Amino acid sequence: MTTKKYGRSACTSILIGKKASIDGSVIIGRNEDSQTAWPKHLKFYPHIEHQQVIFKSKANKFELKLPEVAYQYSATPEWTDRYGIFAEDGINEYHVAVSATESAYANERVLAADPFELETGILEEAIITVVLPYVKTAREGVKRLGEIITEHGSAEANGILFADQKEAWYFEVASGHQWVAQRIPDDSYAVVANQLGIEVVDFNDTDAFMTAPHLQEFVQANQLWPADQPFNFRRIFGTTDDSDLVYNTPRVWSGQRLLTPSAKQMPQDFNLPFIRKPDFPISVQMAQRVLSDHYQNTPYDLVANPQVTPRFRPISVATCQESHLLQLRPVQQPELIGVHWLAMGIAAQSVYVPFYSYGQKVPAMYAHGKETYSTNSAYWVFKQASVLLDRHWARNAKLLAGVQRDTNQALTQQLRQSDQALAEQASHQDLIDQHNQKVADIALKAYQKLTAQLLTEQTADSPLNFNVDPNL
């Protein structure tokens, strides 16, 4: 994440094609990793007609005249727009989902030829706001962002996730004006971790690839790759350094070990494929497991082996502000298509709450929360539990697992009940908002109870506690 104050995020992303999921859904998701204490809110932006707006970034001098009609959409903006909006993720009324961004890095050869437009180029903080409300398909989203970067440039390297009911796309911008997007095959998935991941680009396959204008000419003109070799975007634009070996590549390995355990790979393998087929159909819950991963059942898990020197950066880390999965379900009724699964705080210690993206009223505690702890904020409810868990996570692992299991079951049951109620009474906005409030209450009450138990038990953990004479 790029701001004047807080630097860039180090996220992990997942994209799942409709034939790779258990129920035919297209799913995209990401951990938004930036700060250990920087609240996020849930917000539903309304449909707007006849707006006359020029977007002006607070992070740099990027400006863009916006279309007159803005579609309704869900999002998770920062608690303050002081450094930019950072809406990050959401689903609009046409069932297009976008998650932005997965921070990436390009090599010095590329950036010497096409440096970032630091002053006037688009940044992460603006992407959701200037793209998601104005597109009706995932392909339209890719095209709109590509046109913006071509005209205005980009101020940073990023990966952006797009999806609708039919397909998922991964968009990578590597330099000031050069980008490529690949459609994830329906029977496959991708896990991305702060690296440029897209490999060989087939410029003749316009169904599966979109690119910046004159991308090939740019590469040849700057002698960045032999003309007689397959056009490998990762090799041309990406990095293969020591940081990748410790920070990035192991996360891709861990995601793939969970979804394709038959593949025998190593954590530091630079040749991990961008696209993988799963060994089994992927559920939303399994996608949550990937985004919650900290190398469980491996020698690299610092929770199970706290005495071990950290070797690899895990997927789920303390700097996670929120984690999300945007699910586009294969149903006809519009209200039931988009589910915005939102976990506040650290994914491994939180639960994913299934909000209908067609909501209008935000549950009150999901609209509150500032930099300093407060009791009226959903973000801080989950963060407070995490802080207490961290004191003795191994000791409390069984307790946490039980709370997560019971809460996830209750949330899924409520989603099923709400789906049925909406199917019987289509287009009832009250039912949508009531569902969103119910699932928020289920999760918050469970974690408030968990916090109360942890706090009570830890009163005995004082260094001033010792065995006294029972007769005194």
Going from N- to C-terminal start, the domains of the chain cover 12-365, 386-459
Q: In this structure, are residues 304 and 17 in contact, taking their beta carbons and an 8 Å threshold?
A: no
Catalytic residue among 1, 8, 10, 11: 11
Q: Determine the straight-line distance between the first and last CA of the chain, rounded to whole angstroms.
A: 58
Which residue in 156, 223, 215 sits closest to 182, CA to CA?
215
How confident is the model at residue 241, as a pLDDT? 86
* Catalytic-residue membership of 11: yes
How confident is the model at residue 247, as a pLDDT? 93
In b/e form, how buried is each residue of 60-98, taking b as 16+ CB within 10 angstroms?
A: bebebebeeebbbbbbbbbbeeebbbbbbbbbbbbbbbb
How confident is the model at residue 306, as a pLDDT? 82
What single DSSP character describes residue 247? I
Q: In this structure, are residues 29 and 45 in contact, taking their beta carbons and an 8 Å threshold?
A: no
Q: In this structure, are residues 127 and 98 in contact, taking their beta carbons and an 8 Å threshold?
A: yes
Which residue in 135, 129, 139, 43 sits closest to 94, CA to CA?
135
CA triple 138-140-145, angle to 5 deg: 100
How confident is the model at residue 304, as a pLDDT? 87
* Third-level CATH fold of 12-365: Penicillin V Acylase; Chain A (3.60.60)
Flag residues of the chain having pLDDT under 50: 1-7
Ranges of beta strands (E only) in 345-441 are 353-356
Q: What gap in Å lies between CA 224 and CA 109, rounded to an integer?
A: 7
Using DSSP, how many helices (H) and how many strands (E) does the chain show?
12, 16
Ranges of beta strands (E only) in 329-442 are 338-344, 353-356
Q: In this structure, are residues 363 and 437 in contact, taking their beta carbons and an 8 Å threshold?
A: yes
Residue 218 corresponds to which tokens in the numbers above? Answer: 């740019």
Residue 54: how many CB atoms within 10 A of its CB?
Answer: 8
Please state the pTM of the whole predicted model: 0.96
Q: What gap in Å lies between CA 407 and CA 263, rounded to an integer?
A: 33
